[in-house]
Amino acid sequence: MDKILVGLKRVVDYNVRVRVKTDGSGVETDGVKMSINPFDEIALEEALRIKERGAATEVIVVSIGSAESQQQLRTGLAMGADRAILIQTDDSIDALSRARALLEIANREDPGLIILGKQAIDDDNNQTGQMLAALWGRPQATSASKVELDGTHARVTREVDIGLEIIDVDLPAVLTVDLRMNEPRYVKLPDIMKAKKKPLEEVPLADIGIDPSPSLKETLFEPPAERQKGVMVDDAQGLLAALKDKGLV
């Protein structure tokens, strides 16, 4: 295999408490720590391990977003990716537009495998990988916890509701990974310094002919209701009485 393409999305760090803007127009990001989507970080780790086993020659990371997304791409380069591509746009685009943008890069780079996180922790849509596979006309294996490559085939272990499912797919293919696939490596300072010299290409979204207009419009964001205080009961009869008061039994 020549190339592996990995998608990286810039999201609010998973350790940060998410706050809704006062006007309800979105999530507050000013002054908030941003990171690589955790599922995408696992996807990159798996691509790097495949390359280190000699099954690929180049790992390319791709992100779609504003110029600030260069930070996450540089982190990907520090982890070990060979080069990066930023599809630059200041617009918020939906999953289908992301899939179409990634398709343009896939057609240009002709990778043997595209690896994405199964979902992003900001919108939790779990859509882009499936849409990309359909547009690309290639097989897909989602929610993967293990992948074994054998020439022009991949054997993928998937996490499903009833346990594990093993499927074989022809390459090239789209793979989306779950949390239990691996543990991403720690980025060291020397690697961060080396990453500054690796190539990072910027491609305006308009130059690849993608309309950023979303098919769905988000009109209002609201924080979840505050959790109600619990009620202590002395025995089963007290529990039944409390449930009846709430109309639950």
Kindly report, residue by residue over 107-159, the tens digit of the pLDDT. 999 999 999 999 999 888 899 999 999 999 999 999 999 999 988 999 999 98
Question: What is the C-alpha separation between 192 and 38, in angstroms, rounded?
Answer: 19
Over residues 64-79, mean pLDDT: 94
Over residues 58-79, mean pLDDT: 95
3-class SS of residue 65: strand
CATH code, 88: 3.40.50.620
Which pLDDT score is estimated for 78?
96
Which contiguous run of DSSP H or E holds residue 39? helix 38-52
Instruction: Check whether 227 has a pLDDT greater than 90.
Output: no
Which pLDDT score is estimated for 86?
97
Instruction: Check whether 228 has a pLDDT greater than 90.
Output: no
User: Whose CA is closest to 187, among 50, 12, 35?
Assistant: 35
Which pLDDT score is estimated for 133?
97
3-class SS of residue 160: strand
Range of the domain at 172: 3-245
Query: What is the tally of structural domains in the chain?
Result: 1
Mean per-residue pLDDT of the chain: 91
> What pTM was estimated for this model as a whole?
0.86
State phi, psi for 217 to the nearest 5 degrees: -115, 125
